[in-house]
Chain A
Amino acid sequence: QSVLTQPPSVSGAPGQRVTISCTGSTSNIGAGHDVHWYQQLPGTAPKLLIYGNINRPSGVPDRFSGSKSGTSASLAITGLQAEDEADYYCQSYDSSLSGYVFGTGTKVSVL
């Protein structure tokens, strides 16, 4: 059972902006631990999209951005494109569990 909660799905038309929330608690996000985001295209392994709350690895378009506040974090995708259809997961560390935790995952659909 995931300790980071995400909406099961979000959708938007091409060119629109969508956001994905990641809600945690005082033992993970709220404890100051970094939040990271992964994109998983159908049939492939996850790919790091955002690390350290706001940073993009080389090669990730600046349409993707991350933010964090309190016990939650968000991933925003602006200028939504068909190739963005994928599952997205947040990840952090939980002090109570002494381990890494992933969000429940969000499926992004482009209408």
Chain B
Amino acid sequence: EIQLLESGGGLLQPGGSLRLSCATSGFTFNNFAMSWVRQTPGKGLEWVSLIIGSGGGTYYADSVKGRFTISRDNSKNTLYLQMNSLRAEDTAVYYCAKGKGMLLENYCFNVWGQGTLVTVSS
């Protein structure tokens, strides 16, 4: 069974930094792209970032570009999201998700973790 388990969320002040982790199991981690998707409480989904299996390609939403960094450790089957210069509008539940597809432009997310809550507030 494929499992994704996020950790690292919490409460912090604007301008702060946080690193999220997503421990995975049940599949060959380095064969698949992985992504972070967030959901503002009570609202919709927003794609944040994606990293391809080898880690050689990373992609970001404009809203986080330059502030967030996605990475992966294929030896530990773990995905990360380093979040810097956090803003109130970054408050959300952050999900890690496993990518599925042949072409990057046609990717979907076929397995999701349970999410971790990040709250940015003074």
Contacts and interface: CB of A to CB of B under 8 A. Distances in A.
Interface of A: 2, 33-34, 36, 38, 44-48, 51-52, 57, 89, 91, 93, 95, 97-105
Given A45-B112, A45-B113, A57-B110, A104 B105 contact: no
20 contacts: A34-B108, A36-B108, A38-B109, A44-B114, A45-B112, A45-B114, A48-B110, A57-B110, A89-B44, A91-B108, A93-B104, A93-B106, A98-B59, A99-B47, A99-B60, A99-B61, A100-B35, A102-B47, A104-B44, A105-B45
B108 A45 contact: no
Interface in B56-115: 59-62, 95, 100-101, 104-115
Contacts of B61: 97, 99
Given A46-B95, A99-B61, A93 B45 contact: no
A95 B47 contact: no
Contacts of A47: 112
B33 to A, nearest CB: 11
Interface in B22-57: 35, 37, 44-47, 50
Contacts of A103: 44
A89 to B, nearest CB: 6
Given A98-B59, A99-B59, A104-B44, A34 B106 contact: yes
Contact of B105 (A33, A45, A46, A105): A33
B108 A48 contact: yes
Nearest to A55: B108
A28 to B, nearest CB: 10
A66 B107 CA distance: 16
Contact of A93 (B60, B107, B113): B107
A6 to B, nearest CB: 9
Contacts of B60: 99
Contacts of B100: 48, 51
Contacts of A89: 44-45
Contacts of A52: 106, 108
B62 A48 contact: no
